């Protein structure tokens, strides 16, 4: 069994350790060996925490030997994106100057995962400051898609997605302001849940100042895994109160019963959809129908308007508040992407920025009414396949086409809703994925529906890295 430990998911590993069929050290060592074997082909892991992880595993084994459980994740390894605080490892944000930024404390959800018995095993790659939908930077290099090395692994949590897809970790920690959990999951054939705003506490101890308003409202921390039930287990261990995040909200993880009714949308912003992506959404819809859900093909409201509102809010703040410092520290590819993105639409002034906040409320109200009738929305993550690495900085057309394909993704960010991304098959050598969107704090509905899909369609990773 120890030869295949890296293939197992979080829940199975936790069960095996709890039953004393394997030790925590064996589990951690199996993943360290897997990192050594395959990371050179994808460059997903940036820093290996072998000594610390093995010491923590030994402590977990001593606890188990004395009859103590450290928690639901006792002995389970996980990886952490480089823009999340982890004691003993720099929070680089993908920047060379970040190598010296050693946090004094863990981010809230990392501390909670450790308290549940989980063991940090490695750091993972990201783009400069997380503001690109491809993963790579001057400090750590490019991360490659394990299914096809010519294609993007997604971003900005592409390091965790690629590590999961190749068996280097059963669990990853990322974040999402514009699809950074869900887009890499589509690209790499893995799963992730973007929780409701306020569900998971967030804080960075070394930040120069608190984040601009739109990022406060649209960015969340979330787990990534290969199995839906592993997301549910991890999420249950990282939603406790932490006073460092005053917007944390104490809402139960399980809500009241709701109609098993799903709205299926294929191309809600009329941006065009790739045939393989469309087929994947329809396959997931059939799986839900087979599971007893009422499935209706209907578009949710104002997705194109939501995308434009998201763009105004995020890029107005980038241009006015962040750009003067960003242009001094970004490597050339990251700088070029943001320059192209900011130039791809009219530069909003204060009036447009304020109007966008008003529009956000209007769209949120329309979605709230829609979700009363259809408690779940099933649709694509991106309506397109992963792009060839470098395409996103190939010209002024690229960012707008990219954002168009991610319209449903960024609608979720604008409105602060929960969304589960999961794979539904493989077509022409590439994984196909979908997302399930629920009302605020209804991650439980997303996870239940996602589990139904997974049980019928399967899990498609881990894989061996492929060149093309």
Per residue in 421-434, pLDDT (tens digit) is 999 999 999 999 99
Catalytic residue among 107, 180, 344, 407: 180
Q: Quick one: pLDDT at residue 347?
A: 87
CA 44 to CA 141: how far, in whole Å? 9
CA 220 to CA 203: how far, in whole Å? 10
Query: Does the N-terminal peptide bond of residue 306 adopt cis geometry, omega within 30 degrees of 0?
Result: no
Per residue in 341-378, pLDDT (tens digit) is 999 988 899 999 999 999 999 999 999 999 999 999 99
Whether the predicted pLDDT of 270 surpasses 80: yes
Per residue in 201-253, pLDDT (tens digit) is 999 998 778 999 999 999 999 999 999 999 999 999 999 999 999 999 999 99
Per residue in 168-201, pLDDT (tens digit) is 999 999 999 999 999 999 999 999 999 999 999 9
Strands 45-48 and 119-124, sheet pairing: antiparallel
- What are the boundaries of each domain within the chain? 2-457
Known catalytic membership, residue 114: no
Let me know how long the chain is.
Answer: 468
Known catalytic membership, residue 405: no
Whether the predicted pLDDT of 399 surpasses 80: yes
Contacts of residue 16, Cβ cutoff 8 Å, sequence gap at least 6: 1, 5, 8, 22, 27
CA 115 to CA 415: how far, in whole Å? 31
Q: Quick one: pLDDT at residue 3?
A: 74
CA 411 to CA 438: how far, in whole Å? 12
Vertex 181: Cα angle to 466 and 407 (nearest 5): 105
Instruction: Tell me if the pTM is above 0.75.
Output: yes
Q: Quick one: pLDDT at residue 468?
A: 77
The helix (H) or strand (E) run that includes residue 78 is strand 77-81
Q: Quick one: pLDDT at residue 209?
A: 82
Q: What is the overall mean pLDDT for the chain?
A: 98
Known catalytic membership, residue 156: yes
Catalytic residue among 81, 107, 382, 452: 81
CATH no., domain 2-457: 3.90.1300.10
Catalytic residue among 107, 156, 382, 452: 156
Answer for the pair 438, 445: CB distance below 8 angstroms, yes or no. Answer: yes
Q: Quick one: pLDDT at residue 465?
A: 98
CA 115 to CA 129: how far, in whole Å? 28
Please give the average per-residue pLDDT across 103-109, as a whole number.
98
Whether the predicted pLDDT of 1 surpasses 60: no
Whether the predicted pLDDT of 27 surpasses 70: yes
Q: Where are the alpha helices (DSSP H) in 126-178?
A: 158-165
CA 218 to CA 207: how far, in whole Å? 18
Structure tokens at 201: 């506490």
Please give the average per-residue pLDDT across 392-399, as a whole number.
97
Q: Quick one: pLDDT at residue 345?
A: 85
Closest by CA to 335, choosing from 468, 141, 137, 100, is 137
Answer for the pair 55, 29: CB distance below 8 angstroms, yes or no. Answer: no
Query: Does the N-terminal peptide bond of residue 156 adopt cis geometry, omega within 30 degrees of 0?
Result: yes
């Amino acid at each position: 069994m120890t030869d295949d430990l890296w293939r197992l998911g979080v829940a199975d590993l936790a069960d095996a350790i709890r039953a004393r069929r394997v030790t925590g050290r064996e589990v951690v060592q199996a993943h360290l060996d897997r990192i050594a074997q395959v990371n050179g082909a994808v460059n997903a892991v940036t820093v290996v925490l072998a000594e610390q992880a093995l010491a923590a595993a030994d402590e977990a084994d001593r606890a188990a030997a004395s009859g103590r459980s450290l928690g639901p994740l006792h002995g389970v390894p996980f990886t952490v994106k480089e823009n999340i605080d982890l004691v003993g490892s720099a929070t680089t944000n993908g920047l060379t100057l970040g190598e010296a930024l050693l946090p004094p404390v863990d981010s809230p959800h990392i501390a909670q995962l450790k308290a549940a018995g989980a063991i940090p095993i490695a750091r993972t790659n990201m783009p400069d400051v997380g503001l690109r939908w491809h993963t790579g930077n001057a400090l750590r290099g490019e991360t490659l898609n394990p299914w096809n090395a010519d294609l993007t692994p997604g971003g900005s949590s592409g390091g965790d997605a690629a590590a999961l897809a190749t068996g280097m970790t059963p669990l990853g920690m990322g974040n999402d302001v514009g699809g950074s959990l869900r887009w890499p999951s589509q690209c790499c054939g893995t799963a992730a849940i973007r929780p409701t705003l306020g569900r998971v506490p967030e804080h960075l101890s070394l930040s120069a100042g608190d984040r601009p308003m739109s990022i406060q409202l649209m960015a969340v921390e979330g787990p990534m895994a290969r199995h839906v039930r592993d997301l549910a287990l991890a999420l249950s261990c990282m939603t406790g109160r932490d006073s460092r995040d005053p917007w944390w909200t104490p809402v139960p993880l399980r809500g009241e019963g709701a109609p098993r009714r799903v709205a299926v949308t294929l191309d809600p912003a009329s941006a065009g959809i790739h045939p393989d992506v469309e087929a994947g959404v329809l396959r997931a819809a059939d799986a839900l129908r087979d599971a007893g859900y009422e499935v209706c093909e209907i578009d949710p409201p104002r997705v194109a308007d939501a995308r434009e509102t998201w763009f105004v809010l995020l890029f107005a703040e980038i241009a006015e508040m962040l750009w003067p410092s960003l242009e001094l520290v970004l490597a050339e590819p990251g700088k070029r992407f943001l320059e192209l993105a900011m130039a791809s639409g009219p530069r909003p002034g204060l009036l447009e920025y304020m109007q966008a906040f008003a529009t956000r409320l209007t769209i949120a109200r329309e979605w709230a009414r829609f979700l009363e009738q259809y408690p779940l929305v099933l649709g694509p993550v991106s309506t397109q396949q992963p792009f060839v690495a470098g395409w996103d900085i190939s010209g002024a057309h690229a960012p707008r086409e990219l954002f168009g394909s991610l319209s449903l993704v960024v609608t979720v960010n604008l409105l602060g809703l929960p969304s589960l991304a999961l794979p539904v098959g493989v077509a022409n050598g590439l994984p196909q994925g979908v997302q399930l969107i629920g009302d605020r704090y209804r991650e439980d509905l997303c996870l239940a529906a996602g589990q139904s899909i997974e049980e019928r369609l399967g899990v498609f990773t881990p894989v061996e890295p492929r060149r093309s």
